[in-house]
A and B are shown apart, each in its own frame.
Chain A
Amino acid sequence: MKKSGWYPIFLREMLLFRRKLLKLGYIFSAMVIPIIYLLAFGFGLGRDITIQGGDYLSFLIPGLVAMSSMNNSYTWVSSTLNLNRIYFKTFQIYIQAPIKASSIMIGEVLAGMSKGLFASFLIIIVGYLSSPTFYLSPIFIIVLLLNCFLFASLGIIAGMITKSHEDTATYSNFFIMPMAFFSGTFFPVDKLPIFIKSFIYIFPLTHTNIVMRKTELDVEGLLSFLVLVAYSSAFFIYGSRLIKKYSE
């Protein structure tokens, strides 16, 4: 494999990620919020609730995996890219290197995906331990990868357009946080009033949650999958364009 292009960008992120993993605090922080939700909603509130013909825990765990993969892919990329661009100026090394904007994009997105998948993996382990009906279907795995890709690409856009590190938190509060709660992580979106429901279907995480809970790809699942592919492509292309147009 040619070790130029996207690979050194991915390698750099993984070297930094490895150092973070060696600190126990990181693993704990990646797990703590989904575990709290699992304990509070899954074992607490949801003990006697049945949803879509199954127990609440079986419904909740795929949602927590989707939410966790979204949070970690997006936040890691947007936050580190913003810091590297504005404060540490390490992003400028990529711009001054003889590589294409799409290579920078691929390297950053793969790194974001790895972080999202790592956090998801931790929740999946908890899922296996806590819910006897939880299992990983091929659809689940494909959509998990696509969700990480989508939100890592969105993270690049946020990291490129925000003018300060504080702005990334604002974007997160306005887009990521509402998605985490209203896109079907904790309850099915079809329970929501119609005027909210049509709005909720704009959110990509809604479609991730729909497909992730399917065992077979029906029409609804296929449509949601196509929406995710469309969002992913649009975010990836726009992110690459922002990198290509970068100028100080």
Chain B
Amino acid sequence: MIEISEITKTYTTNQTKTIAVDNLSLNIARGLVFGLLGPNGAGKTTIIKILTTLSKPDTGRCIIDGFDITTNPIEIKKRIGVVPQENNLDRELTAWENLLIYGMLHDVKDLEAKIEKSLKMVELWERKDSIVSHFSGGMQRRLLLARAMLPEPSILFLDEPTIGLDPQIRRQMWDVIRKTKMQGRTVVITTHYIEEAETLCDLIGILSKGRLVAIDTPDNLKTMVGRYVVDIIDEEGHLNQHIFKSREEAHEMASRLNNCSVTIRKSNLEDVFIKITGERI
């Protein structure tokens, strides 16, 4: 269980104060895949950094599995696994050595067997003795996931885990994340990818300028803003979108339009995001 209560985090650069997280409160129940959706600069990574003890909030409290993040960070660190947005593997070490060091840091029991299991899970066992700098970007992302899973954490934090990956590798990563959920673990994931959020997440929080502007299941969020979207491309090529609660309302509007291209489709989380925040992801 993750309980976040009124946390705020500001950064000051060149005497300019930026509010990265603004009075954010939310609870994430055990065993859920929770997605944080938002554009660059919305505060997603800052929230992950706070929850994974890398960043201290200015105000507010975070409790993970009953432990306060500021007073008992070591207990929290025993329970979490992190896939950061930026690749922080040791590039001059082998895949095996990377996992060995990480496993020792987390005091993993039966370490060698678990390293083997983790590397096999992400299909990198055959490359265990290769230097990581020789790996492709996709292989390095998979190794990051294997590393995070090594201590068998009860909560897994994934910050843009599939960024820059080709669709096939992305789906392999999704399989691992689904399996993680099936094992009863909590997953907190930030993503730009709408399909990823819709496919994986039980609950989605929409962030805009550091504030949590909506939180619900993907289905409920879509129902809330409207299930049907009319995409209208005018003679100048500009796209206008209108969201409706029912198919009938969407058809009625579409039937009134002339001299433009009209498409009626089901809404997705990007539509939800645009409707709620007025921004694009």
Contact = CB atoms under 8 A, between A and B. Distances in A.
Contacts of A7: 104
A174 B87 CA distance: 34
A89 B78 contact: no
B102 interface: yes
B160 to A, nearest CB: 14
A7 B106 CA distance: 12
A93 B102 contact: yes
Interface string A86-111: 00111011111111100000000000
A12 B54 contact: no
Contacts of B106: 4, 97-98
B105 A94 contact: yes
Contacts of A94: 105
Which of A3, A7, A96: most chain B Cβ within 10 A?
A96
A89 B89 CA distance: 8
B12 interface: no
A73 to B, nearest CB: 21
Given A15-B97, A88-B90, A248-B54, 6 more contacts: A2-B107, A4-B106, A16-B90, A90-B89, A90-B90, A93-B88
Nearest to A3: B104
Interface residues of A, number: 25
B55 to A, nearest CB: 5
A248 B49 contact: yes
Contacts, number: 72
Question: Shortest 7 CB-CB distances between A and B: which pairs?
Answer: A8-B104, A97-B105, A89-B88, A98-B77, A4-B107, A247-B56, A98-B78
A88 B78 contact: no
Contacts of A96: 52-54, 77, 80, 82
Interface in A182-236: none
A100 B74 CA distance: 8
A11 interface: yes
Interface residues of B, number: 29
A11 B93 CA distance: 11
B105 to A, nearest CB: 4
Interface of B: 49, 52-56, 74-75, 77-78, 80, 82, 84, 86-93, 97, 100-102, 104-107
A89 B86 contact: yes
A247 B88 contact: no
B105 A247 contact: no
A104 B13 CA distance: 28
B56 to A, nearest CB: 4
A97 B101 CA distance: 11
Interface in A77-134: 88-90, 92-100
Contacts of A90: 88-90
